[in-house]
A = this chain, B = another copy of it.
Amino acid sequence: MSETEALWERYQKYLVVCPSIDVCLDISRMRFDDGFFGRMKGPMDAAFAEMAALEQGAVANPDEKRMVGHYWLRNPALAPTDAIRDAITATRARIVQFALDVHEGVVRPTRAERFTNLLVIGIGGSALGPQFVAGALGSPADPLRPFFFDNTDPDGMDRTLGELGRGLDATLTVVISKSGATKETRNGMLEAKAAYEKAGLRFGAHAVAITQEGSLLDQIAKGEEWITTFPMWDWVGGRTSELSAVGLLPAALQGVDIEAMLDGARDADAVTRRPIVAENPSALLSLMWHFAGEGQGKKAMVVLPYKDRLELFSRYLQQLVMESLGKERDREGRIVHQGLVVYGNKGSTDQHAYVQQLRDGIPNFFVTFIRVHRERQPSAGPPIEVEPGITSGDYLEGFLLGTRQALYENGRDSITLSLKEITARSIGALIAIYERAVGLYASLVGINAYHQPGVEAGKKAAAAVIDLKGKIEQILDEAGAALLDAESVAAAAGTTDVETVHHLLDHLANNPGRRVTKALPDPPEPPGQKGSVLRARFRRG
């Protein structure tokens, strides 16, 4: 039997076909041996059992003493209490009605007939899902055109506001933050509010909040009489919140059929809940990740969807996978430094960027190809032939198959996940398949996928920097015309961290609006170019 024939056998043997969600998974290009599934049976059965307990309302995130309920969002009948079930159902209905009201002009802006733009303010789980879905399902004909503040870069926000221009009149702003304490989102809200006010518009009349009841943001929204508020729940984590109000409201406003998205996820859950590995794409994905990286993330997952609409999927997965799996300790508290790197953009574009390294260079990865059969949207005209009988879409398919083969020949493994088409339903299914794959993999390697303890350190360190920044402003105010260097400012601020003081002073002096003047030392000391930076002195003005 030739290698081609052997591969065709292997393909047929391991292919998973899921007709209810129009998904196929092909793991034939992963070089696991025949004994692999047998060896993994014990851990995999345990993972299925843990997942079943989680779905039934066990406290699956013990650190934070939380249930993990994203699977209930698309099948409220599974929710462990009536209260949760009712909250899911009522919120879904409210979202659908609210979007309808916005589209029909029942809910409308003060200075325009209709809302035609949507500004989503959020970060991490409150932006990546909405961005991915907007990119995957959006079209120029959508009732609202989406824009995002997903950072605390004032220039980035200025640019988005510049694109909106006078369209701010017709812009509905959705602020998403579970606690309301996320500084980037708080800052984005304040920058947006300032822009509305500058345009003579009351912010609250154009704003909706998605937040936990009683949160800081909830209080602001109520105090400022925002249009309305939708809930976030403590049993939905940020990175699995796309099918809660966080993702559903922006999608519904954009015109996406959110019921179809939820149904796709529900049906994918039904397929991937069954503890039969050979027919379960989520289980097989988790096992293939385990195989590729020996359960220790030794190889990166390169995600290559051959479809422009899925360009942001790798970024969405970066959070879902890396924030869930990148952990210092396992559940027994042992130091394990787990993780699984995800990167990628889209094919065939990336073939002209880094596939050179994938084929020839350091073999520290495996690829996930995502293949979409449908070449064009149903509304598109007849296909254009770029050669007799050949379309651009044939080339897309040809490049996928060709690249996969070229990688395989050189010993580089790959998974191929096929979708029939990109619709609200298939995107819901795709999200659900990967959510469960991540949860199962976490069980296989014995970690908690639902907390993120490592994020706190950076936030605390940043808060200390902001605190120091406040002190520096005060010291400069009090010093009047006197020139101070970083060391004397640090001393006055009571810190030994001269370097941070130096960075903050330099930052202020480089921004004309911040009223800090920098004087160069004369002569520069130490000599040479460094002196201008290291020995600079500063004063207010």
Contact = CB atoms under 8 A, between A and B. Distances in A.
Interface string A433-468: 000000000000000000011110111111111100
A354 B399 contact: no
A62 interface: no
A389 interface: yes
B323 A354 contact: yes
- The 5 A-B pairs with the shortest beta carbon distances in the complex, nearest first, are A326-B357, A124-B352, A156-B308, A326-B361, A339-B361
B395 A466 contact: yes
B319 A354 contact: yes
Interface in A350-407: 350-365, 373-378, 380, 382-384, 386-399, 401-403, 405-407
Nearest to A127: B349
A394 B466 contact: yes
Given A349-B150, A402-B463, A510-B420, A337 B356 contact: no
Nearest to A384: B194
Contacts of A307: 153, 155-156
Given A326-B356, A398-B466, A458 B351 contact: yes
Nearest to A509: B373
Interface in A172-218: 182-184, 186-188, 190-191, 194
A122 to B, nearest CB: 9
Interface in A69-114: none
A226 interface: no
A320 B407 CA distance: 20
B499 A8 contact: yes
A469 interface: yes
A117 to B, nearest CB: 13
Contacts of A19: 529, 532
Q: Which of A128, A394, A458, A514 has the most B CB atoms < 10 Å from its CB?
A: A458
14 contacts: A182-B352, A184-B349, A338-B362, A339-B364, A341-B341, A375-B513, A378-B512, A387-B470, A389-B469, A395-B462, A398-B466, A403-B458, A406-B460, A409-B457
A374 B153 CA distance: 10
Interface residues of A, number: 161
A362 B393 CA distance: 38
Given A17-B530, A127-B349, A362 B297 contact: yes
A183 B390 CA distance: 12
A7 B498 CA distance: 10
A384 B157 CA distance: 12
Contacts of A463: 398, 402
A322 B356 contact: yes
Given A139-B162, A156-B308, A360-B328, A353 B17 contact: no
A296 interface: yes
A462 B399 contact: yes
